[in-house]
A and B are shown apart, each in its own frame.
Chain A
């Protein structure tokens, strides 16, 4: 069983303070570590587990700048056989549909029984590229997948809905699944794997390599446009208890006492 995993590199922002760039079209990337998008890491692990059990190869595909080679190499260090990067200015600033269209052009020529993606990315948070990709490839799809059970030419998946309710579906393969975090325990790459992967080829694909009209991808191929970024308005917000940890927690303990919790 061969599996294609579409993944991307993102800046780590969960724990960091995010600053807007001066043009208000992006953020200051300096000081933000780059890493594989969290849900994509689970998708990759799922693909590795399945191909280890059912024999087959994992191909990882990304669309992104030169720095994204790092997540492709890390994926190969963990066991992916091939890596493809959609590269070139034609792909820049695409909306989710334009990104899906570009990925589809690269994926359609690969051999696969399954296409896995993370269900959402931590940067743009569209929660849309994977399912749009399925439509571009004319394949059945399901997202927020937290359970998978392989059958003969089919897979039973559990989708996690609001409140933790699981929706069980039977899907024919090939299909596109958006993988939710927590489905497995992603492995770390070995030192040996990393050393080997550093020498591996990454297949670079431009829009013309994929037979794509440059106007159909990237900013030109997008039907939505990012106008401006801003910090979210701060409402009344919290009363910040200032001071050293001892001082601020002293103030908090006092608040909790006044409210009857202590």
Chain B
């Protein structure tokens, strides 16, 4: 039987959400297309994870080896190549994560696999797989088809698919016997360094007033700080504001920053790329101010104002002050 193979992702002792999101997607795809779902678990001391995976897959392949302790794209790529060559799954799914983007493209080149990255949806039309991916910073969806090949490779975007409940019938666990090379001298893992902790913990705030590229200049920051103060909240931001040096890294909301779940999230001048959305979409109430009516942030928001933030923010401050008075 044809199989869909999902590479389980884990870091520092935990399976990551993307693993279960991909397995959920694979199961619904497999049901429609008559394909089984296999989870591939690579690592050192990871045998216990098979238990959690087997209720989401028909089979769990485990390769537990000391050389797989640290994630190293060079080592993982070589092992994956061997596994894919011997099993020839019709589809391989790897997370579109810092781990996956470092690994998948090289694999596509060496094995000459048709490859699409950062897919947000997958569907079979007959035997043909179609992938949906987003371009132009989430403003356009593209449908991609693949050349005829025994195996197709995709990376799949985190948070693009909900996690389905586990199946009652658990899959089998198979130990793999594949040679694992030592970490090559050309790329060696040294250590993980935790992000620095700042003065303000934005994950603890009930109200987060967040700014993006639309702020244009650091000089415009004080009016945002005043608005946050009026609402008893903290100022946070999307990545471009940290890159520009307007705010420190610990204020960044998004996949490479913090995940926040405040009661109110006010997104000002943030278009809403998925990296940002994944860090704030669990907020109770989301309000967006953006000049592009089609900005992706409006799909996540509860309330929106289409307009120039330089005019809206001062007006909003004034209205809040009036209500207070």
Q: Do A and B bind each other?
A: yes
For A, the interface residue count at a CB cutoff of 8 angstroms equals 89
B109 contact set on A, CB distance < 8 A: 97, 100-101, 132, 135-136
> With A161-B98, A225-B145, A253-B319 in contact, do A135 and B110 touch (Cβ < 8 Å)?
yes
Interchain CB contact under 8 A, A168 and B191: yes
Q: How far is the CA of A238 from the CA of B300 in the complex (A)?
A: 7
Q: Write the nearest CB–CB distance from A12 to chain B, whole angstroms.
A: 10
Say which residue of B131, B155, B231 sits within 8 Å of A256 (CB atoms): B231
Interchain CB contact under 8 A, A166 and B195: yes
Which one of A97, A119, A122, A156 has the highest number of Cβ atoms from chain B below 10 Å of its Cβ?
A97
Interchain CB contact under 8 A, A235 and B137: no
Interchain CB contact under 8 A, A224 and B231: no
Q: Counting CB contacts under 8 A, is A192 at the interface? A: no
Interchain CB contact under 8 A, B142 and A128: no
Interchain CB contact under 8 A, B214 and A127: no
> With A164-B195, A262-B323 in contact, do A15 and B214 touch (Cβ < 8 Å)?
yes
Interchain CB contact under 8 A, B264 and A15: no
> With A158-B193, A223-B112, A232-B140 in contact, do A135 and B239 touch (Cβ < 8 Å)?
no
Say which residue of B147, B186, B299 sits within 8 Å of A140 (CB atoms): B186
Q: Counting CB contacts under 8 A, is B223 at the interface? A: no
> With A140-B186, A259-B264 in contact, do A132 and B207 touch (Cβ < 8 Å)?
no
Interchain CB contact under 8 A, A241 and B188: no
Q: Counting CB contacts under 8 A, is B221 at the interface? A: no
Q: Counting CB contacts under 8 A, is B108 at the interface? A: yes
Q: Counting CB contacts under 8 A, is A191 at the interface? A: no
Q: Counting CB contacts under 8 A, is B32 at the interface? A: no
Q: Counting CB contacts under 8 A, is A198 at the interface? A: no
Interface string of A71-112 (1 = CB under 8 A from B): 000000000000000000000000111001100000000000
Interchain CB contact under 8 A, B137 and A125: yes
Q: Counting CB contacts under 8 A, is A245 at the interface? A: yes
Q: Counting CB contacts under 8 A, is B179 at the interface? A: no
Interface string of B116-155 (1 = CB under 8 A from A): 1110000000000011011111111111111101000001
Say which residue of B105, B142, B185 sits within 8 Å of A132 (CB atoms): B105
Q: How far is the CA of A96 from the CA of B115 in the complex (A)?
A: 8
Q: Write the nearest CB–CB distance from A255 to chain B, whole angstroms.
A: 6
Q: Counting CB contacts under 8 A, is B294 at the interface? A: yes
Which one of B115, B249, B259, B311 has the highest number of Cβ atoms from chain A below 10 Å of its Cβ?
B115
Interchain CB contact under 8 A, B304 and A241: yes
A239 contact set on B, CB distance < 8 A: 302-304
Q: Write the nearest CB–CB distance from A252 to chain B, whole angstroms.
A: 6
Q: How far is the CA of A178 from the CA of B106 in the complex (A)?
A: 13
Interchain CB contact under 8 A, A128 and B104: yes
Which one of B105, B140, B147, B293 has the highest number of Cβ atoms from chain A below 10 Å of its Cβ?
B105
Q: How far is the CA of A178 from the CA of B73 in the complex (A)?
A: 14
Say which residue of A13, A122, A156 sits within 8 Å of B190 (CB atoms): A156
Q: Counting CB contacts under 8 A, is A8 at the interface? A: no
Q: Counting CB contacts under 8 A, is B320 at the interface? A: yes
Q: How far is the CA of A206 from the CA of B129 in the complex (A)?
A: 33
Interchain CB contact under 8 A, A175 and B294: no
> With A182-B239, A239-B302, A262-B323 in contact, do A168 and B288 touch (Cβ < 8 Å)?
no
Q: How far is the CA of A147 from the CA of B288 in the complex (A)?
A: 33
A159 contact set on B, CB distance < 8 A: 98, 102
- Kindly specify which of B37-45, B169-177, B240-248 makes contact with the partner chain: B240-248
Q: Counting CB contacts under 8 A, is B257 at the interface? A: yes
- Kindly specify which of A16-24, A57-65, A207-215 makes contact with the partner chain: A16-24
- B157-212 residues with Cβ-Cβ distance < 8 A to A are 158, 184-195, 207
Interface string of A129-143 (1 = CB under 8 A from B): 111101110001111
Interchain CB contact under 8 A, B191 and A224: no
Q: Write the nearest CB–CB distance from A256 to chain B, whole angstroms.
A: 7
Interchain CB contact under 8 A, A122 and B136: yes
Say which residue of A123, A144, A175, A224 sits within 8 Å of B144 (CB atoms): A224
Q: How far is the CA of A231 from the CA of B131 in the complex (A)?
A: 15
B11 contact set on A, CB distance < 8 A: 161, 165
Say which residue of A18, A230, A252 sits within 8 Å of B303 (CB atoms): A252
Q: Write the nearest CB–CB distance from B268 to chain A, whole angstroms.
A: 11
A31 contact set on B, CB distance < 8 A: none
A136 contact set on B, CB distance < 8 A: 109
Q: Counting CB contacts under 8 A, is A257 at the interface? A: yes
> With A156-B190, A262-B231 in contact, do A224 and B145 touch (Cβ < 8 Å)?
yes
What are the 7 closest A-B residue pairs judged by CB atoms, nearest first?
A164-B195, A238-B304, A253-B319, A182-B243, A223-B114, A238-B301, A249-B316
A and B contact pairs by CB, cutoff 8 A, 16 listed = A15-B291, A17-B292, A127-B96, A135-B105, A135-B109, A140-B184, A140-B187, A161-B98, A162-B158, A164-B256, A169-B190, A223-B147, A224-B131, A230-B143, A249-B305, A252-B303
B-side residues, CB < 8 A to A, are 11, 16, 71, 73-74, 96-99, 101-102, 104-106, 108-110, 112-118, 130-131, 133-147, 149, 155, 158, 184-195, 207, 213-214, 231-232, 239-240, 242-243, 245, 249, 252, 255-259, 263-264, 271, 285-288, 291-294, 296, 298-308, 311-312, 315-316, 318-320, 322-324
Given contacts A131-B104, A252-B287, 12 further A-B contacts (CB under 8 A): A11-B136, A14-B213, A97-B105, A125-B137, A143-B101, A144-B98, A164-B249, A168-B192, A171-B186, A229-B135, A249-B316, A255-B287
